[in-house]
Amino acid sequence: MGISDAFLNEQMYIIAIISIILFIVSCAGLAVFITFRILKKYIDFGDVVCSIHQYSNNGIKYTVNRDNVLLCEKNDYMLVHGDNPYENIQRSIPDQLLKNAEKTGDNL
């Protein structure tokens, strides 16, 4: 047996191992996914939550809508928008919430 034959055999051996692993993984993938779909259908109820359209007629009014920004721009960007626009607004608070605050010592 020549060197190239041995090399070929070794390559075939590796290819065979990889094929078997891939083959088992794909079978497991199909089995796991179908099992998940069965559980989802027969076991898990009401896992749907409302979207924004249920509670807002106009949806979001975007002030910034930028694609393809850089990862390093993130912190600057968050900092620019980091001020609370509602900071000094005072609102009237219902009695029940005030009563609960008294119990817990929450000074709001």
| CA–CA distance, 42 with 37 (Å, rounded to integer) | 9
Touching other proteins, residues 80-99 (CB under 8 A): 81-82, 84-86, 89, 91-99
CB of 55 to other proteins, least distance (A): 5
**2 vs 105, beta carbon nearer other proteins:** 105
| CA–CA distance, 46 with 64 (Å, rounded to integer) | 34
Interface with other proteins includes 56 (CB under 8 A)?
yes
Close Cβ partners of 37 (under 8 Å, ≥ 6 residues apart) = none
**6 vs 15, beta carbon nearer other proteins:** 15
